[in-house]
């Protein structure tokens, strides 16, 4: 039995009187793709934000690779190996496409204050950026200003930026959202390749993708974990069917 890469225990988050995460305890094993599903407002993104550090929980602990990161600022978590993408893709729009992952590599290496060598001339940085862009098959757009990319390409670019940070855990918030059919297939193929290298914790509404890719599925409803297990077990779980899969299939 291997030890989990990420463990949350009793994670609880309140927005005023609203309980958005209630006593959430999950484990993410090294190299697995762990999907979080649940109806809108179930607290999926809020949970991801607490693991990524964009939000701090009111109670509970988050342990990554043996270290308690519950209160750690985002940039420090990133450097420990927690990478992420956002629901609406976030990119460095004024930069060339290739320079987006270059920033990811720069941040991971914590080399922010260099004032002499251009980032293209930093050997480690430019190699990693090129490799990350290649991994998402965006190399031919390398020189384009990144804000000119399509929505689908922006999603891929944001993943490349996260990959350049050499994550051991990748948090993906709805990587399929807004993608066309071909783009979804491309994304699925990419995620299949990526898992194994890094563990992936993914929030997703596309049930086809979830059940074909995930090793573990956790179901959230009203901030609580109502089920967690292998995809087959989740698919046939009566509680899950009643609260989510049966009535609200927005895949």
Partner 1 sequence: MTGIAPQVRILIVLAAALLVAALVAFGDQTTLRFVSRVAIYALAAVAVDIVLGYAGLVSMGHAAFFGLGAYVTGALALIGYKEALLVWPLAIAVATLAAFVIGALALRTSGVYFIMITLAFAQMFFYGANAVPGLGGADGFRLPGRSTIVGLSIDDPRVFFLVCVLILTVILLSARRAASAAFGSSLRAARDDEMRAAASGIGSYWLRLAAFTVSGAITGLAGVLSANLALYIAPSSTLSWHLSAEFLVMVILGMTGTLYGAVIGAALFLLLIEVVSHYTDFWAFYVGIAVIARVLLVRDGLLAKLQARLAP
Query: Which residues sit at the interface with partner 1, rule CB under 8 A?
Result: 52-54, 73-75, 78-79, 83-84, 86, 90-95, 99, 102-104, 106-108, 110-119, 122, 158, 161-162, 165
Q: Which is nearer to partner 1, 160 or 220 (CB)?
A: 160
DSSP letter for each residue of 55-67 = S--SEEEEEETTE
CB of 75 to partner 1, least distance (A): 4
CB of 251 to partner 1, least distance (A): 27
Q: How far is Cα 176 from Cα 97, in angstroms, rounded to an integer?
A: 20
Q: Which is nearer to partner 1, 198 or 234 (CB)?
A: 198
* Structure-token pair, residue 144: 């384009």
CB of 208 to partner 1, least distance (A): 28
Q: Which is nearer to partner 1, 116 or 123 (CB)?
A: 116
What are the φ and ψ backbone dihedral angles of 206, each rounded to 5 degrees?
-75, 100
CB of 181 to partner 1, least distance (A): 27
CA atoms within 13 A on the CB side of 51: 37
CB of 245 to partner 1, least distance (A): 31
Q: Which is nearer to partner 1, 145 or 241 (CB)?
A: 145
How many C-beta atoms lie closer than 10 Å to residue 180's C-beta?
11
For 160, residues 6+ apart whose C-beta sits below 8 A from its C-beta are 100, 101, 104, 132, 133, 135, 136, 138
Q: Which is nearer to partner 1, 83 or 234 (CB)?
A: 83
């Amino acid at each position: 039995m291997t030890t989990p890469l990420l463990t949350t225990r009793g994670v609880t988050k309140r927005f005023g009187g609203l309980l958005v995460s209630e006593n959430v305890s999950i484990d993410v094993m090294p190299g697995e793709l762990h999907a979080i599903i649940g109806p809108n407002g179930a607290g999926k993104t809020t949970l991801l934000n607490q693991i990524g550090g964009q939000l701090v929980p009111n109670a509970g602990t988050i342990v990554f690779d043996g270290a308690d990161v519950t209160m750690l600022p985002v940039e420090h978590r990133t450097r420990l190996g927690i990478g992420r993408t956002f629901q609406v893709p976030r990119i460095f729009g004024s930069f060339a496409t290739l320079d987006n992952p270059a920033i990811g590599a720069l941040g991971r290496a914590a080399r922010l204050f260099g004032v002499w060598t251009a980032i293209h001339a930093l050997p480690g940085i430019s190699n990693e950026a090129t490799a990350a862009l290649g991994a998402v098959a965006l190399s031919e757009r390398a020189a384009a200003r990144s804000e000119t990319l399509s929505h689908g390409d922006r999603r891929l670019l944001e993943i490349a930026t996260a990959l350049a940070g050499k994550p051991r855990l990748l948090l993906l918030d709805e990587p399929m959202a807004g993608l066309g059919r071909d783009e979804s297939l491309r994304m699925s193929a990419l995620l299949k390749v990526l898992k194994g290298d890094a563990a992936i914790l993914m929030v997703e509404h596309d049930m086809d993708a979830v059940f074909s890719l995930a090793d573990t599925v956790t179901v959230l409803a009203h901030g609580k974990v109502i089920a967690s297990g292998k995809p087959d077990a989740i698919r046939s779980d009566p509680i899950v069917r009643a609260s989510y899969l049966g009535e609200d299939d927005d895949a």
